Amino acid sequence: MSGLTLSSISKRFGEVNAVEALDLHVEPGSFVCLLGPSGCGKTTLLRMIAGLDEPTSGTIRFDGEDITARPVHRREIGMVFQSLALFPHLSVGDNIAYPLAIRGVDRKARAARVEELLDLVRLPGVAGRAITQLSGGQRQRVAIARALSVSPRLFLLDEPLSALDAKLREAMQVELRQLQQRLGITTIVVTHDQREAMTMADRIVVMRSGRIQQEAPPVEIYRRPANAFVADFIGQTNLLPVEGNALLGMALPAAGPLGPLASVRPEDVSIRPAGEAPIEARVAFVRDIGSSVEIHLDAGGTRVVALAPAGARLTVGETVSLAIEAGAVTVFAQGAAA
Ligand code: ATP
């Protein structure tokens, strides 16, 4: 099978199971984000794929070959770390050409490749500059160019954008995704930022305590979270109790017994005048952020957050009613709660 296949990969550090019997297939040319809270094993997983850490058990295959024991320099990977690890005493060009130089590529070929890579990352003509003369975003691009210099078959990045400010980070997310699409290179990025993962990934792998919670395209993860942990981790949600087959007193269509918990996204809660919709509620707090209005409601003692379009006018203390489409409710099976 082509692409990257991890089979029952585990990594123990003493008493800690950093990654536990994890299976994952990454299609060739796809962009995958490993997403999860601090300590869930994302970096450990990436380091095993890179060959920097050896799995305690399990196998890693790439394009059909078992690479579990293959040393890092023979894996044909390009890597970018959060720290970037650029050499401050070398010029931009020499940084980018470094992996080529240690592979014995001659000076002229190196210079040509450096120009090609600088064009690719939209930094033409800066080969002679010192690293210290570049901004954070420009250094990021140099680190990416260096990682791609040897035309890797697999591109691995660990929190590559987390040192950048919010605006620049968002711009770089789009750039990185477009670059990956132009090159068609299989790419795996570690992040703890769900928006970043949603922007870039073909598929998101949500991890917790060394295990995969869900692996799916971003919209599916958002619309159909596998459990309460995923629902809560990806975007904002209301985790609401299901009693019998009712949610806040509203009957849900059910073929059999329902689990005890459901997720409803704030944008799926619509606010109507009192008495018009099945759920009665009182406005407890209003946060108007201009582009939308977030409304916190008290529905018979249960807190519900709704997101209304810009211009919605509601007053704290006002009684309203709430409508939730049954199709927007994700009920978790017994045992799938966080
Ligand atoms: P973060 O987002 O904070 O970087 P992460 O999801 O990348 O977290 P890992 O760095 O993979 O998580 O760590 C997973 C677990 O393994 C943690 O409990 C961590 O303390 C432990 N761990 C990681 N590396 C080592 C090591 N070299 N020695 C001992 N324990 C380690």
Expressed in angstroms and rounded, the spacing between residue 10 Cα and the centre of ligand 1 is 13
Nearest residue by C-alpha to atom 3 in ligand 1: 38
Q: How many CB atoms lie within 10 A of CB 91?
A: 17
Q: What is the ipTM of this complex?
A: 0.96
Sign, CA torsion 281/282/285/290: positive
Q: Give yes or no for a contact between 208 and 229, defined as CB atoms under 8 angstroms apart.
A: yes
Alpha-helical regions (H) of 65-224: 92-101, 107-120, 136-148, 166-183, 194-200, 218-223
Question: What digits encode the pLDDT tens for the residues 194-219?
Answer: 999 999 999 999 999 999 999 999 99
Give the confidence band of 334 by pLDDT, cuts at 50, 70, 90. Answer: low
No. of H helices and E strands in the chain?
Answer: 8, 20
Q: Whose CA is nearest to atom 9 of ligand 1?
A: 41
CA of 41 to the centre of ligand 1 (A): 6
Q: How far apart are CA 48 and CA 38, in angstroms?
A: 18
Task: Give residue 16 CA to ligand 1 midpoint distance, Å.
Answer: 9
Please, are residues 32 and 202 in contact by the beta-carbon 8 Å criterion?
Answer: yes
Q: Read off the pLDDT of each residue in 160-186 and give the average, rounded to a whole number.
A: 89
Q: What is the pTM of this model?
A: 0.90
CA distances from 245 to 209, 327, 328 (A): 32, 14, 15
327 pLDDT above the threshold of 70: yes
Mean pLDDT of 241-246: 90
Confidence band for 87, pLDDT divided at 50, 70 and 90: confident
Pocket of ligand 1 (CB under 6 A): 13, 16, 18, 36, 38-44, 192
Distance 132 CA to ligand 1 centre (A): 31
Are residues 320 and 282 in contact, defined by beta-carbon separation less than 8 angstroms?
yes
